[in-house]
Amino acid sequence: MKLLLINPFHAGSHAHWCDGIKHYLPQVSNAEVQVWTLPGRHWKWRMHGSAGYFANLAFEQLAQPDVILTTDMMDVAAFRGLLPAHWRTIPIVQYFHENQLTFPWSGDDPQKQRGQDHSYGFMNIQSCLAADEIWFNSLFHQSVFIEAVSEFLAKLPGETEPFQSENIRIKSHIVSLGIEPASPPQTRTPSTPPTILWNHRWEYDKGPDAFLNHLNFLHESGIQFNLILCGEQFSEIPKVFNEIQSKYEPCLQHAGYADSKETYLSLLDNSDFILHQPIQEYFGISVAEAMSRGVVPLLARGQAYENWVPSPFLFDHESDMIRLWHEHSEHFNERRIDAYSAVKRFFWPAVAAEIHERLQLLTSRS
């Protein structure tokens, strides 16, 4: 099988997903993986312009792939229409890392203020119809998107029959993100004081305001802690991160992007707890990576976490968070193993085997 993997926004979890498939899929199958990417910036232009860019590349190819796998950043309808005629029957799978119907846009975005954000959501819907299969990274993501499609269409003036959510549901599947395999965590005691990890994007949708509130609640409850702040950063960083670093400067063991994989893994290995309450989380790859290294999660209930994180790691309110903090501290090594065990199914060899099976089924029907 010849797979063409197209990643219009090659950064963050999108790049992680693309690189993982390129590396691991040939190890579990006889697949040949060709990769086309664009840098992970200017996401709105990627959604508008990547279809034409990549379709133009197809005209330069002597051989065509058996299947194309791309992401929610691709306008599949435009892409398919712009392809050479002999490419238009190639099966296309679209992988949804996130979506523009339910993603929480910043209130400061001028397109949000003008109502132009709706065009990106409709682009997602139309892309689903043009794709042969749609893969969501979690059941939670699939559910909220399909529900949002119905709500979106109800606001339109008519002629929405082709776009109905059932036409999307019947071709959709759940295919988790993959993470690097790791060995079971070694027995150790928590740091003194315990170290709390932030390893998410430094953006508002990951909930840095809630993170600060939780830190304040721990501090006011007499609980001491250290902090490791890492994760991908962009040109505009929410001001709350300055407040976190200023207020808890004596607690900081690291603040900033980890400049290598080795540094990142070392930061995870030196963390005890990961505390998170995002505004949106369709899967939670940074949490899964931390858990694979034995970092014990304290996660607000809701979002995608309830799909795959064991209930003892989820809290409803801050007093519940404090209770779990003490319980997990008392049974620290047991909880480290529990965290690791919960994410073993996301190790790349297993996910790559699932991807291979899904692609084989698709191409056998084509």
In this predicted structure, the answer to whether residue 39 has a pLDDT above a threshold of 70 is yes
Nearest to 354 by CA among 141, 180, 170, 178: 178
pLDDT in tens, 224-244: 999 999 999 988 899 999 999
Residue 73: which of 55, 49, 103 has the closest Cα? 49
User: Which pLDDT score, from 0 to 100, does residue 117 have?
Assistant: 63
Residue scoring higher pLDDT (109 or 291): 291
Q: Which residue has better confidence, 104 or 197?
A: 197
Q: What is the rounded average pLDDT of the residues 296-307?
A: 95
Residue type, 94: Q
- Fold type of domain 195-345: Rossmann fold (3.40.50)
Amino acid symbol at 276: H
**Amino acid present at 288:** A
Please tell me the distance from the alpha carbon of residue 253 to that of residue 354, in angstroms, as a whole number. Answer: 39
Whole-model pTM?
0.93
Q: Average pLDDT of 156-176?
A: 91
What pLDDT digit, counting tens, does each position of 318-354 carry? Answer: 999 999 999 999 999 999 999 999 999 999 999 999 9
In angstroms, the CA 326 to CA 319 distance is: 11
Q: Is the pLDDT of residue 212 over 70?
A: yes
**pLDDT at 273 exceeding the cut of 80:** yes
Residue with tokens 């998170």: 276
C-alpha of 221 from chain center: 33
Cα first-last separation, the chain: 13
pLDDT higher than threshold 70 for residue 106: no
Which is the CATH superfamily of the domain at 2-178+347-365?
Glycogen Phosphorylase B; (3.40.50.2000)
C-alpha to C-alpha distance for 269 and 288, rounded to whole angstroms: 13
CATH 3.40.50.2000 maps onto the chain at 2-178+347-365, 195-345
The mean pLDDT value of the chain amounts to 94
CB 122 within 8 A of CB 99: no
What's the alpha-carbon Rg for the chain, to the nearest Å?
21
Backbone angles phi, psi at 279, to 5 degrees: -75, -40
pLDDT tier at 116 (50, 70, 90 boundaries)? Answer: low
Strand partners, 6: 36
Chain centroid to Cα 235, Å, comes to 20
Cα separation, 118 vs 105, in Å, equals 11
